[in-house]
Amino acid sequence: MDRRKLIRKILVYAIYILLLSSLQVSYPGRLGFGGQTADITFVFVVLVGYFFGFKDGVIVGLITGLVRDCLAPIAVVGIDGTVRVTAGIGMLVMFLAGAVGASFFTKRMHRNVPFAFVSIAFTTLLYKISGHFMAYSWTFIAPAVGSYDLGVYEIVVRSCLLQTLLNLIAGIPILLLLRFAGPVAVSDQRKSSDDVIAIGEENSWLQI
Partner 1 sequence: MKKLLTSKWFIVLAVSLLLIAGIVLSFIPNSPLKAAVGVSSKVVSPAQKGVKSTGNAFSDFWAAIADGIAIREENKTLKQEIADLKYKLNQYEEAAIRYEELKGAFHIRDTFSNYDIYGATILSREADEWFSVIRINAGKNEGIVLEQGQSYPVVDVEMNLVGRVIETEGSTSKVLPLLHEGFSVAGKVNEVNGASVIICGDSVLKKSGLCRVKGIDKNIKLAPGTVIVTSGEGGLFPDGIPIGTIESVDYSNPTEVTATLRPYSVIGELEDVFVMIPFNADTKKEGTPGASESSAQGQGGQG
Region 46-75 residues binding partner 1, contact defined as CB under 8 A: 54, 58, 62, 66-75
Instruction: Check residue 88 for interaction with partner 1 (CB under 8 A).
Output: yes
Instruction: Check residue 168 for interaction with partner 1 (CB under 8 A).
Output: no
Helices (H), 53-112: 54-71, 89-103
Q: Which residues is 76 bridged to in the sheet? A: 84
User: Residues 153, 156, 159, CA angle at the centre, nearest 5°?
Assistant: 100
Cα–chain-centroid distance for residue 166? Answer: 13
Nearer to partner 1, 89 or 121 (CB): 89
Instruction: Check residue 154 for interaction with partner 1 (CB under 8 A).
Output: yes
Q: In sequence order, which residues have a C-beta less than 8 Å from that of residue 142 and are 6 or more positions away?
A: 76, 77, 78, 79, 81
Instruction: Check residue 164 for interaction with partner 1 (CB under 8 A).
Output: no
Torsion 153-158-163-169 (CA) sign: positive
Region 1-40 residues binding partner 1, contact defined as CB under 8 A: 18-19, 21-29, 34-37, 39
Judge whether 100 and 123 are in contact, CB under 8 Å. yes
- Residue 133 CB: number of other CB atoms within 10 A? 12
Region 129-148 residues binding partner 1, contact defined as CB under 8 A: 131, 135, 144-146, 148
Write down the least CB distance from residue 56 to partner 1, Å: 13
Instruction: Check residue 95 for interaction with partner 1 (CB under 8 A).
Output: yes
Cα distance between residue 107 and residue 50, in whole Å: 10
Nearer to partner 1, 158 or 179 (CB): 158
Return the residue of 118, 121, 125, 150 that touches partner 1, per CB under 8 A: 150
Return the residue of 106, 119, 123, 163 that touches partner 1, per CB under 8 A: 163
Straight-line distance from the first to the last Cα atom of the chain, in angstroms, rounded to the nearest whole number: 8
User: Residues 172, 39, 21, CA angle at the centre, nearest 5°?
Assistant: 100
Return the residue of 6, 83, 181, 186 that touches partner 1, per CB under 8 A: 83
Residues in touch with partner 1 (CB under 8 A): 18-19, 21-29, 34-37, 39, 41-42, 54, 58, 62, 66-78, 80-92, 95-96, 99, 103, 131, 135, 144-146, 148-151, 154, 158-159, 163, 202-205
